[in-house]
Amino acid sequence: MKNDKVPIMVRKKILIVDDEKLVRWALARKCAECGYQSVEAADGEEALSVLQNESPDAILLDVHLPGQSGIEVLEKLKQSGETRTVIMMTADPQLEDVKTALRLGAYDFVSKPINYEELGVTLQNALEAGALRTEVESLRGEVRRRAGYHEVIGVSRKMTELMKFVQKVAASEASTILIQGESGTGKDLVAKTIHYQSARKDKPFVAINCSAIPETLMEAELFGHERGAFTDAKAMKKGLFEVADEGTLFLDEIGELSPLLQAKLLRVLEDQVIRRVGGVRDIQVNVRVIAASNRDLERAVREGHFRQDLYYRLAIISVFLPPLRERKEDVPALVDFFVGHYNRKFRRNVQGLNEETQRLLMSYNWPGNVRELKNALERAMLLEEGTLLRPDDLPFAVASGRSGTAGSAPTAMEVSSPAAQEPLEGGSTRRLPVLSIPEGGTSLEDIEHALVELALRQSHGNQIKAAKLLDISRDALRYKMKKFGLVHGEEEQPASPTRP
């Protein structure tokens, strides 16, 4: 005997909310004729209670209900994040009610007495719109996943506070945001987080690395070009500002832009207007610009490499990402995430790290930050055939602990006396510190960290004196203190007035 499995057709469910029993009965019959299931509620309070236990695909909601009105019920649904399709019903449609309901997300209005043929068509359209909305949201989630977006990972106090601030920034109306931090700290990920947690999340997120595009092509890349604007411009092309309209444009390594492009970018940020290369008309755009740099832009401004007015325009809201060596508490959480990611990607079954591998990862200073940790774990996952990652799987620098130990700034150098003398023009000389580099090696970042800490210690926390020792401005010193997570030193106190 043939035993073919017959697929079970899941019928759509409609919640009917009306205080008249006869109306609910007639609507339920019509739903059944159209192939839908139905559940009923006599007032708003009962409807909200039903929604806690049922999952209808659409709601038929009467405007005039005892107790709270249908508009008030709709508002509560909106506040709770309810996304089900709602069709309002009323015998006396008031313009204000219609406007309010549509503003709150109602799909349509039907008038009483109800034309059941029209209602059947309205229900079908509403359910198709709801299914389409669900599919679009699913596709958007897939796009985000393929774009490499995931929440920023961090359990440390620094990262917890940072992400609270990022959430505020995302919800704000700020049109320009500057993200600063060392290479590999995840500036691009924070930019995506700001976009996908903002009201612009359903609009484009467009990213460009300003150091990867030749200067001669950068203007056309950002602003587009008209046909015939230059030799190879055989057709009109929209620039990234137009592509990102209503969304977010992420300008990574913005410190590499030429002075000419910096001036043009400033105009766009001020006026939200662009002009294509070779064009004669202005084009209005609405773009949130997130810029990022691993350079000290304040120093670049002082040295004349970056426009001061552009810096101040970008830095209305600044986000500083701490290096991984200053938030070692986040290493285990990052390891768990990356191991899970590479288990899925490489079809492995690695359960974690052995004890020695854990110790090495926690003691290493990660000069390449999260990117270096990710690459180290990818290498280990490719080499390891067992269930636990071992020290032999790690890159040599990590396994040997060459970058220093955790918990303190590395002893990258020592300043000793007498100092060496460097001859200068005119016969004068300049005192040079005698540097001592540890046998295991170090990095320029570690040396800078140690110098700033040494200057603050020698000046007993006085920022002005420490800045003079380092031959930098106090603003530059403050940036480096924030960069390395050093506590703020004492401000220079004004001299007390002399008594007569």
Number of Cβ atoms within 10 Å of the Cβ of 343: 14
Q: Which two tokens stand for residue 273?
A: 């207007």
Q: Are 289 and 269 in contact (CB under 8 A)?
A: yes
- The CATH classification of domain 13-141, taken from the options 3.40.50.300, 3.20.20.120, 3.40.50.2300, 3.40.50.720: 3.40.50.2300
Number of Cβ atoms within 10 Å of the Cβ of 234: 8
Strand partners, 208: 251
Q: Which two tokens stand for residue 67?
A: 């107790």
Q: Which amino acid is it at 278?
A: G
What are the structural domain ranges in the chain? 13-141, 157-322, 326-400, 416-484
Q: Are 119 and 30 in contact (CB under 8 A)?
A: yes
Kindly tell me the sign of the dihedral angle through the C-alpha atoms of 482, 486, 492, 493.
positive
Q: Does residue 487 sit in helix, strand or coil? A: coil
Domain 326-400 in CATH 3.40.50.300? The answer is: no
Q: Are 89 and 18 in contact (CB under 8 A)?
A: yes
Q: Over its length of 500 residues, how does the chain's per-residue pLDDT go in tens digits?
A: 444 444 444 578 899 999 999 999 999 998 998 889 899 999 989 998 888 888 888 999 998 898 889 999 998 888 777 778 899 998 877 778 888 888 888 888 888 888 888 888 888 888 888 878 777 766 666 665 555 556 688 899 999 999 999 999 999 999 999 999 999 999 999 999 999 999 998 889 999 999 888 888 899 999 999 988 888 888 888 999 999 999 999 999 999 999 999 999 999 999 999 999 998 889 999 999 999 999 889 999 999 999 999 999 999 999 999 999 999 999 999 999 999 999 998 998 999 999 999 999 999 999 999 999 999 999 999 988 889 999 999 988 888 765 544 333 444 444 443 444 545 455 555 555 555 565 555 667 777 888 888 888 888 888 888 888 888 888 788 888 877 777 654 444 444 443 33
CATH architecture of 416-484: Orthogonal Bundle (1.10)
User: Contacts for 353-360 with beta carbons within 8 Å, 24 or more apart?
Assistant: 353/388, 353/389, 354/388, 354/389, 354/390, 354/391, 356/390, 356/391, 357/388, 357/389, 357/390, 357/391, 357/393, 357/394, 358/332, 360/391, 360/394, 360/398, 360/399, 360/401
pTM confidence score: 0.59
Q: Does residue 321 sit in helix, strand or coil? A: strand
**Nearest alpha-carbon partner for 490 in 468, 460, 467, 454:** 460
Q: Does residue 370 sit in helix, strand or coil? A: helix
Helices of type H across 368-473: 369-383, 396-400, 444-458, 463-470
Q: What is the CATH code of the structural domain delimited by 157-322?
A: 3.40.50.300
DSSP state of 11: P
| Domain 13-141 matches domain 157-322 at the CATH topology level | yes
Helix (H) or strand (E) holding 431: strand 429-434
